[in-house]
Structure 1
Amino acid sequence: MSFPYHLPLLLDGATETHCLAAGMPHGVCTEQWILEHPEVLSQLQHAFVAAGSQAVLAPTFGANRARLELYGLGEHTVQFNQKLVSLTRDTVGTNALVGGTLSPTGILISDEDDQWDGDVVFQKWLTIYREQISILRECGVDFLFLDSMTGLPEARAAMLAAKQSHLPVLCCLTADQTGHTLSGSLFLPSLITLQAMGADAVGLSCSIPEDMVDLLEEARMFATVPLIAKADAGLSEADEEDRLAPEEFAAQFSPILRAGARVVGGCCGTTPEHIAELSRFLRELPPVKTRVGADDFVATREDEAFFLGDDILLSDPIPCDYGLADALIDIEDEQVNVVKVQVRNSEEARQLAMDAQMSRLPISILSDDPDALDEALMLYHGRALVDSDSEMDERLLRRIAERYGAIVY
């Protein structure tokens, strides 16, 4: 899969920082405030394009129904997205690409074993993202940008919804220096999972440049798509003197670019001046070759990557019942490196989703039921294997596996 735009691609910078400086009160709905003060956004976006931004993100970050409902504005979901994209398109014209931005919904999976609702929450995520993505697609955005995702499970839901639009999809997670996201996912297995699902670029957002370098250097070894770095210059509410100056911001980007990031831009605290400085760094940047096939035999769960070779040793099939958690723990004592789990129906797919985290080994799913296989892969928050001995049409099996980025073995 080739990236649809010329690289390097320079994004824009922070919107909320500028709005706060222009008088937006804290705690209000940013999207509503922008629509009430459209000249503030237009001025900012004009400045970003003049600074060198080749792609501008429409400020639809918080315009999904779940987030708008926090302000009692859920019924304005369609209207807000339409107006924000239209305002952005009218401002930049043909001088820059326009991306539709999506954010975490704020809806979380319960971490109580007796209250596990992961399947219900996942369907809520899908519904929310499908609605917003459908609106953004009808508005004519050039690509979708999944921004500041706080964990792999919700990022997977957003990816599944986004790929149905047939638009290019760029995805950023927010992680600390160790690679951990707020929900406990790790960046490397998340990258491998999302690129296998069809993301056109994957990377990091919402941390300062120097905190991204090691993570991107590690990711480069396994990235089959361009890497994104959308870095902070400081928190939105930080005083001016506490933010990275444009020259310092751009200088800190130098090792990020050496690490292979080729889709770059600014997050909190970044201004057109930051983007202008960054633009100067990109002019003589050499291309980076992605490593085709680098992740062919890398399975994942949200907090671990499993690097498999040609010597895959599958366990005997484990039934997916109420004893699954204990069986997954006990299997570690056997001479195998992949656990084969048999899934026969929807109930067993849900059981696997609840207990999969108990395994310290990658999981291969054996299923003769297409619907059960589809649900099991949908609810498995990582990159699973699919057993080719599953008794179903091979083309159907591979089509289901491809949807979720699974490895057929």
Structure 2
Amino acid sequence: MAGKAKGLLERFRDGETVICAEGYLFEFERRGYLQAGGFVPEVVIEQPELVEGLHREFVHAGSDVVLAFTFYAHREKLRLVGREADLERMNRTALRLARKVADDTGTLMAGNICGTNIYDATDPAWEPKARAMFKEQIEWAVEGGADFIYAETFFAYAEASLALECVKQYGKGLPAVVGISKHRGDLLFDGVPLGDALVRLAEAGAAAVGLNCGRGPPTMLPLLEDLKDKIKVPLVAAPVPYRTHPDSPHFMTLKDPDGKVAFPLDLDPWLCSRSQIAAFSRRARALGVRYLGLCCGNASHFTRAMAEALGRQPPASRYTADMTKHAYYGTDPTLIDFNTQEVCKNKF
């Protein structure tokens, strides 16, 4: 077992950048263990060893945080698939797996809450229902030994604010990191400007605030540029690794050449390259981002690219590409010389 991990707030105080690998929903859907649409993390109780394995894979690639896979493991999502009876077991199992890997690897473990999908500005009844959903997940996270709570993917300030309030009320002093997912325009779903929302969340006691999910690096960076001088706590950036653009700033609106919406199954043509992820990571850190990750679409090679862009050498860096030894492009003097460059030029 590794030694005790340095705490989140200590890392922030020391000016460190914390990497948190996300993307469990999309990765398990790609592997055939989770259904797109409902996106309920049923794999947690059906194949827990796979979840533990992906936790270890992300740490191997450079993640400083093991994020408990409780995203969408809330009452509303489980109701949709008829598994509400598995709610507590799913959360406690996810937390146990994450805590085990964090203890083994000397990393931080984060509990995870997210948008409830019941926010309704026209019906105040959403708030007590959402509060109850946050409360039970936060209390399970505390009992499961979480080092902090990551509250993410909120489209309205009101819901993000409620989530933070619940972490403060039920989280037994655990720090809260809060991420908002920004669609088009200047305002969140409840009419609050993004910058105002994040400033208020920081003033309300969030340890770090910023953006996660939805936007890819090209359309998240301009928002980060605008926020860097407004936010007085560490800034969060966890985009999706897709090449969003001004006409489709959010990956849910990307369309193929025939005009068909690509989300969620046909997004592959828009995936970023590793070098694009590395470039984003360097720029984000230069802007003052201190909580950095990748959301839906992430995989371990992207997390490694992010870590290496910050100057780190995680265990997975042992296998970072070394093209000097490539049969055709290599420059290693021990390679058989048969006019390599000419071969490539004429044959490929």
What TM-score does the superposition give when structure 1 sets the normalisation length?
0.64
The RMSD of aligned alpha carbons is: 2.0
Contact persistence 2:119–2:127 (CA under 8 A): no
Q: Does 1:106 align with 2:117?
A: yes
Higher relative contact order (CA 8 A, sep 6+): 2
- Counterpart CA distance in 2 for 1:97 and 1:68 is 27
- Counterpart CA distance in 2 for 1:182 and 1:132 is 24
Corresponding residue for 1:308?
none
Question: 1:339-378 alignment to 2 at 5 Å?
Answer: none
Identity %, equivalent residues: 26
Question: 1:305-316 alignment to 2 at 5 Å?
Answer: none
How much has 1:197 moved relative to structure 2? 0.8
Corresponding residue for 2:181?
174
Q: Does 1:5 align with 2:15?
A: no
How much has 1:244 moved relative to structure 2? 0.7
How much has 1:29 moved relative to structure 2? 5.1
Letter paired with 2:167: A
DSSP-derived class of the 2:9 partner: coil
- Counterpart CA distance in 1 for 2:266 and 2:187 is 24
Q: Does 1:150 align with 2:155?
A: yes
How much has 1:179 moved relative to structure 2? 4.3
- Counterpart CA distance in 1 for 2:155 and 2:95 is 24
- Counterpart CA distance in 1 for 2:222 and 2:134 is 31
Corresponding residue for 1:68?
78
- Determine which of 140, 145, 149 is the counterpart of 2:145: 140
How much has 1:40 moved relative to structure 2? 2.4
Describe the superposition over 1:353-385 as per-residue Cα deviations: whole angstroms up to 9, x where unpaired. Answer: xxxxxxxxxxxxxxxxxxxxxxxxxxxxxxxxx
Contact persistence 1:104–1:154 (CA under 8 A): yes
How much has 1:263 moved relative to structure 2? 0.6
DSSP-derived class of the 2:290 partner: strand
Q: Does 1:266 align with 2:266?
A: no
Contact persistence 2:38–2:80 (CA under 8 A): no
Letter paired with 1:138: E
Corresponding residue for 1:18?
27
Contact persistence 1:213–1:259 (CA under 8 A): no
Corresponding residue for 1:131?
136
Corresponding residue for 1:233?
241
How much has 1:217 moved relative to structure 2? 2.1
How much has 1:78 moved relative to structure 2? 1.7
DSSP-derived class of the 2:210 partner: strand
- Counterpart CA distance in 2 for 1:240 and 1:29 is 18
Letter paired with 2:134: Y
Corresponding residue for 1:55?
65
Letter paired with 2:175: P
Letter paired with 1:55: V
Corresponding residue for 1:192?
199
Describe the superposition over 1:325-353 as per-residue Cα deviations: whole angstroms up to 9, x where unpaired. Answer: xxxxxxxxxxxxxxxxxxxxxxxxxxxxx
- Counterpart CA distance in 2 for 1:90 and 1:241 is 36
How much has 1:28 moved relative to structure 2? 5.0
Task: Pick closer, same or farther for the CA change 1:185–1:56 going to 2, 3 Å.
Answer: farther
- Counterpart CA distance in 1 for 2:10 and 2:266 is 36
Corresponding residue for 2:320?
none
Contact persistence 1:13–1:275 (CA under 8 A): no
Corresponding residue for 1:45?
55
- Counterpart CA distance in 2 for 1:241 and 1:106 is 28
Letter paired with 1:219: L
- Counterpart CA distance in 2 for 1:275 and 1:168 is 24
How much has 1:74 moved relative to structure 2? 2.2
- Counterpart CA distance in 2 for 1:173 and 1:227 is 12
Describe the superposition over 1:198-236 as per-residue Cα deviations: whole angstroms up to 9, x where unpaired. Answer: 000001011101212222222222211100000111365
How much has 1:18 moved relative to structure 2? 1.5
How much has 1:249 moved relative to structure 2? 1.7
What TM-score does the superposition give when structure 2 sets the normalisation length?
0.74
How much has 1:67 moved relative to structure 2? 2.3
Gap runs ≥5 in structure 1: 112-116, 285-409
